[in-house]
Amino acid sequence: MAGRIVLFGATGYTGDLTARALVDRGARPVLAARNEERVRALADELGALQWAVADVERPDSVRALVERGDVLVSTVGPFNRWGEPAVQAAIASGAHYLDSTGEGAFIRQVFERHGPGAQAAGCGLVTAFGYDWVPGNLAGALALRDAGEAATRVEIGYFNPGSGPDAMSGGTRATSAGALLRPGYAWRDGHIADERPARRVRSFELRPGRQAKALSQPTSEHFALPRVHPALRDVEVFLGWFGPASDPIRVLSAGLQPILSLPGTRSALQDLVARFVTGSSGGPDAAARAKSRSVVIAETFDAAGTRLTQVRLEGGNAYDFTAGILAWGAQTAAAGGLQGTGALGPADGFGLDALERGCAEAGIARV
Ligand SMILES: NC(=O)c1ccc[n+]([C@@H]2O[C@H](COP(=O)([O-])OP(=O)(O)OC[C@H]3O[C@@H](n4cnc5c(N)ncnc54)[C@H](OP(=O)(O)O)[C@@H]3O)[C@@H](O)[C@H]2O)c1
């Protein structure tokens, strides 16, 4: 029998979209959030769904949400601040787990710290299963499969043409604001190495004759792609949100490092950002989301630096994709579609062909 799908954070911007995407796919998730009145109202609106109250500041309430065989989907973020109790609850119960984080430090924690515990508990953890960073995992894995054994490096760029200033949710703003203050990493020379976010800038050809700059990021591709392509020595993932500001941000990131290395400074600055940039303030409405597009490009190279293959994915809005892919992933996991236990990447977790179908259903596909 398929396990239950429990959506934690259902009253947030992304949680609400995900609840609706699940119902549109015919699922009947249990909705969980910290505010009883709001979660009950949403559950009633979506067709008398079950609901539960849980608060990350009371970890037992999160633990009580799931049992073995269930799938816990968490959209409670920023994850560096609020994410731990849901992962721990899933492992303690033997439930599968998916989340909407895009935060590098949290992703690293799931792979390095929680993966072994989940393996022992017989459940799968699929972190960063939203727009950040599923399409790059798909594009990278397809480009590597096309290239074969000769590929030793993959470079991936994410772009959102058509996105205006109203394109971000409050939760994304709260998360992005502290990103340069966190330590980063990259898959370098066959292992995970510490590397500050925004250390590198490169341009991708967004359309013929139009180059667009993007900044390097610590993402799930660094952990996940070497699992599907063991010959891989280097992974580079770039985010193209910042356009011409990419170079100044790179310089800022470099300039921050001596300050961040002073004892206590990093956490003091993170606390300051958390006080002033809060989430739970909504996000782009359907009309604003309809204006933005997604383009994700992956290129592979051999050891001599010769480009071997390129894969390009295109589709709609990042939040609609996030809701759609979380809904697809939760249903697939609940039906026994996860291929392994422990911390899993999108491609090794679901299988590349299934993932490609899931992404297309969520609105992003190979062109
Ligand atoms: N990977 C991606 O591409 C992607 C896409 C979208 C979002 N995200 C990430 O997903 C997260 C949510 O984004 P969002 O836009 O939905 O933000 P949001 O609207 O601020 O949602 C945050 C959610 O966390 C809940 N929450 C906060 N503190 C809590 C606590 N103590 N106990 C229980 N729940 C608590 C909020 O509850 P209330 O409703 O009661 O305020 C809300 O449901 C962020 O980290 C964002 O960066 C990533």
pLDDT in tens, 268-315: 666 666 666 566 678 999 999 999 999 999 999 999 999 999 999 999
264, pLDDT greater than 80: no
94, pLDDT greater than 90: yes
14, pLDDT greater than 60: yes
178-181 contacts, C-beta under 8 A, 24 or more apart: 178/78, 178/80, 178/269, 178/270, 178/273, 178/274, 178/277, 179/103, 179/104, 180/249, 180/252, 180/253, 180/256, 181/256, 181/260, 181/266, 181/269, 181/270, 181/273
37, pLDDT greater than 90: yes
H or E element in which residue 274 lies? helix 265-276
How far, in Å, is the centroid of ligand 1 from the Cα of 127? 15
pTM: 0.95
CA distances from 16 to 109, 125, 153, 157, 315 (A): 26, 22, 38, 28, 21
φ, ψ for residue 53 (rounded to 5)? -105, 130
Q: What is the CA radius of gyration of the chain?
A: 19
Strand partners, 32: 8, 52
pLDDT digit string, tens, across residues 117-146: 999 999 999 999 999 999 999 999 999 999
Residues sharing a CB contact under 8 Å with residue 23, sequence separation 6 or more, in sequence order: 29, 46, 47, 49
Strand pairing category for 342-343 and 307-315: unpaired
Q: Is the CB of 81 under 6 A from ligand 1?
A: no
Strand pairing category for 210-216 and 201-207: antiparallel
How far, in Å, is the centroid of ligand 1 from the Cα of 199? 27
CB contact at 8 A, 216 and 197: yes
Average pLDDT on 334-348 reads 97
Average pLDDT on 170-174 reads 67
Token pair in block for residue 100:
């909407």
Q: Is the CB of 279 under 6 A from ligand 1?
A: yes
Q: Is the CB of 77 under 6 A from ligand 1?
A: yes
